[in-house]
Amino acid sequence: VLTYIRQLSAIHPSLQCRPHFFDPLELSTVDFDLSFSADGIRNSWLIRQYLLQVPYARHGALYIKKWAKRAGINNGKSGYFCSYAFVIMWIYFLVFEEKSLEFIPPESIPPLPAECESFEKLHQPLPPFDYASTALGEAILKFFHFYTSAFDWGSNVVSLCRPGGTSRKEINWNRSLSGNATYYYMCVEDPYKENLNLGRNLTEQRASKTIDAMNEWISTVAFHVKS
């Protein structure tokens, strides 16, 4: 395995898996992430195709993920949304509310996109941030208002699976199903895994804390604007 890691690292610098070699060899270790999800590449490519449509989309996704971590609501291991869920929420907002992104049918993304076969085509540097534009700030503010005031969490699902939006009734997701460690207080549908709610670990208390954190962000911004 270590020989293969050395060979892999020599092919392309970005593929290094951080091997640590020791003597004796049995003490050597390799740091890497391992996933058995067949949809991982497909999910990543779908998100990539969305976020490359508008220059500020990637900046917004990064900001929201970082903010959510600081607010303590971006932590899948603790029963909250994961970063992936927040990105889906951001894209959904830009597609269905802002209308700034074109809807992409999930089935249009092949399991292994042909572009992934060439490492040179994968790297897309983050576009320079336009400090003279207010588009990103306005979009983020609307994002928080949308999910705290406009979006009906009791009736609708944040989903990129269908071009016309998705209701709970349409896919038979309702709060009465909550239980056995699966909850439906806030519903974010995975684009590829059938019947998977990315908010399945959000209890009523955690869902409430998530909305409260968003409202607190709005209050903080409003305070700074006034002062």
Please, what sign has the CA dihedral across residues 146, 69, 165, 169? negative
139 with 98: CB under 8 angstroms?
yes
Mean pLDDT by 10 residues, the chain (227 residues): 49 52 62 64 92 94 96 94 98 98 95 65 73 89 98 97 95 75 92 95 96 97 74
105 with 42: CB under 8 angstroms?
no
Range 40-226 classified under CATH 1.10.1410.10: yes
The pair phi, psi for residue 219, each rounded to 5°, is -65, -40
Question: What was the pLDDT predicted at 15?
Answer: 47
29 bridge partner residues: 20
Write the burial class of residue 161 (CB in 10 Å: 0-12 exposed, 13-18 middle, 19+ buried). middle
Instruction: Please state the domain extents for the chain.
Output: 1-34, 40-226
Question: What was the pLDDT predicted at 1?
Answer: 46
